[in-house]
A and B are shown apart, each in its own frame.
Chain A
Amino acid sequence: MKAIILILFAISLLNISISNRLRGFARLLTLQGFLLFVLAFIQLNEVTILNLVFVLLETLVFKTIVLPLFLDYVIKKNRITRETEPYVPYFVSLLIVTVIILASFIIVQQIEGLSGNTLFFIVALSTIFTGLYIIISRKKLITHLMGYVVVENGVFILSLAIGNEMPMMVNTGILIDLFIGVLVMGIFVNKIGDVFQEANNEYLSQIRD
């Protein structure tokens, strides 16, 4: 069952690489959150009940419901619907994300002593790199934010892999989630979209020293 969820997660990564509509991207993040919820439920069967309930609530409430809702609100408020033409065309993005997944497979194969967590590591590594790639290759600020959400989804998977032995790692992963939430709320509350008319990053580079 875990394998299926991880493969579905990898499929969602591929779909992220070719998404150019921001609401579609947000819905994919919802899907990822839900998959992580199910994964956490199955995987963490040796932690205390309190910890488990906390993790599940966090994943379900925060990753699946709240964060995408905030993102939707920001998107609607600033009336942005599509991503601007990225630095790398979408077709090439698809190729690159496929190569990322295959490369992480090959890299993880070389590591000894993973005790059955190989698939976790592969998907986590590819998610992190895909998230970083999304941040590198897209232009809109909101997409950078969503790329960062993808990165810490990957970190969350990694922490789940060893969550049974070290439950504190999972909690640390949740803290990163909360950090993102604060960031999004910052955009929402301070209406950063009002200040920057263009939501691209071209003007950001003007504020360097």
Chain B
Amino acid sequence: MHGLILILIVSLFFGGIVVKTKSICAGRKGPGIFQPLKDIWRLIRKGAVFSETATILTRIAPSIYFASVLLAVGCIPFGNVRGLLSFQGDFVFFAYALALGKFFMIIAALDTGSSFEGMGASREAHFSMLAEPAFFGVIGSLALYTGRTSFLDIFTYLHFGNYLSYALGSVMLIILVILTLIENSRMPVDDPNTHLELTMIHEVMVLDYSGFDLGLIQYTTNLKFAMYAALMANLFTGTLRALPDILIFLGTGFLLAVIVGGVESFTARLRMGRIPQFAFSLTSYALLLFLLVLFITGRFS
């Protein structure tokens, strides 16, 4: 339960910190930290315009997307307190619940019958497919390192004893950060501020949404960020007590937001044809990580 509340808290200010970081890096003062939240609140109360080709799927997709992300959030433990759901193999449920949300967003994009959304849907389907195995590889390495197969068990038994495991943790962290960037369609995969449809990936899928649905989708993006931040924070909380854990959670959320803002300010988007290689190289890194874990746990002959 604590984990869920903390993630919700982090999601409230995450978007704002990203925007603020980008503004400061660009030399401006920028809007307040809660401005994106105010935008979402305003959107939720507005009416909506739907495309005439859209069917009921467009109406229900954002809600199912939000529900799937919420269920995935429920799997994440907080230190050694279990999340709402915890069972052997819950990381499989985590990944596939997120995939359910993505599926609905993709077909809702095809629902509008516009070439822009079709393009975005196609790209989103491809990039998330290529980044998917990386997550399973990272979890496989963690499972091999700790000898456990559920989120709660893995994070409870994760000790960083020698410096080798710290290196392991940092490589895992880097892979998770890049995975976050790919899954949430940020730079260097997608520029959320571009207004050219030909270069959009996620933004163009939600081009025909308005009102409550758009607000829900924007909030879900923040929630997904907070979820990945929680996952990363869990790498380091382990068996600490409650107060340091909370601080680490909030701190990781804050740091991740700053990193995302920094990456967005200082990098350019990759050429579209390079993104599949970028996404798939994560899987190769995860495999190397697995080999490293095999080495650390002394299973080499």
The answer on direct contact between A and B (beta carbons under 8 Å) is yes
Contact assessment for B277 and A3 in the assembled complex, using a CB-CB cutoff below 8 Å: no
In the assembled complex, which residues on chain B have CB atoms less than 8 Å from the CB atom of A4?
164, 167
In the assembled complex, which residues on chain A have CB atoms less than 8 Å from the CB atom of B284?
14, 94, 97-98, 101
A112 within 8 A of B: yes
Known: A3-B295, A4-B164, A91-B276. A14 touches B300 (CB 8 A): no
Instruction: Report B242-292 residues with CB < 8 Å from chain A CB.
Output: 274, 276-278, 280-281, 283-285, 287-289, 291-292
Instruction: Report A8-59 residues with CB < 8 Å from chain B CB.
Output: 10-11, 14-15, 18
Bound Cα distance A11, B174 (Å): 13
Contact assessment for B163 and A1 in the assembled complex, using a CB-CB cutoff below 8 Å: yes
A201 within 8 A of B: no
Known: A7-B171, A7-B288, A98-B287. A14 touches B281 (CB 8 A): yes
Chain A at the B interface: SS class: helix
In the assembled complex, which residues on chain A have CB atoms less than 8 Å from the CB atom of B276?
91
B301 within 8 A of A: yes
- Annotate A54-75 by CB proximity to B: 1 below 8 A, 0 otherwise: 0000000000000000000000
Residue of B nearest to A111 (CB): B301
Contact assessment for B281 and A18 in the assembled complex, using a CB-CB cutoff below 8 Å: yes
Contact assessment for A14 and B301 in the assembled complex, using a CB-CB cutoff below 8 Å: no
Bound Cα distance A112, B300 (Å): 11
B92 within 8 A of A: no
Contact assessment for A3 and B292 in the assembled complex, using a CB-CB cutoff below 8 Å: yes
Contact assessment for B300 and A3 in the assembled complex, using a CB-CB cutoff below 8 Å: no
| CB of B284, distance to nearest CB on chain A (Å) | 4
A102 within 8 A of B: yes
Contact partner of A11 (CB less than 8 A), chosen from B280, B285, B296, is B285
In the assembled complex, which residues on chain B have CB atoms less than 8 Å from the CB atom of A105?
291
Contact partner of A94 (CB less than 8 A), chosen from B281, B289, B301, is B281
A90 within 8 A of B: yes
Bound Cα distance A90, B283 (Å): 15
Contact partner of A102 (CB less than 8 A), chosen from B278, B287, B295, is B287
A80 within 8 A of B: no
17 intermolecular pairs with C-beta atoms under 8 Å apart: A7-B167, A7-B171, A10-B288, A11-B288, A14-B285, A18-B274, A18-B277, A18-B278, A90-B274, A90-B277, A94-B280, A94-B281, A98-B283, A101-B288, A109-B301, A118-B300, A122-B291
Listed in ascending order, the chain B residues whose CB lies under 8 Å from chain A are 163-164, 167, 171, 274, 276-278, 280-281, 283-285, 287-289, 291-292, 295-296, 300-301
Listed in ascending order, the chain A residues whose CB lies under 8 Å from chain B are 1, 3-4, 7, 10-11, 14-15, 18, 90-91, 94-95, 97-98, 101-102, 105, 109, 112, 114, 118-119, 122
19 extra interface residue pairs, beta carbon distance < 8 Å, beyond A14-B284, A18-B278, A98-B284: A1-B163, A1-B164, A3-B164, A3-B167, A3-B292, A7-B289, A11-B288, A14-B281, A14-B285, A14-B288, A18-B274, A91-B276, A91-B280, A94-B280, A94-B284, A101-B287, A102-B287, A118-B301, A119-B300
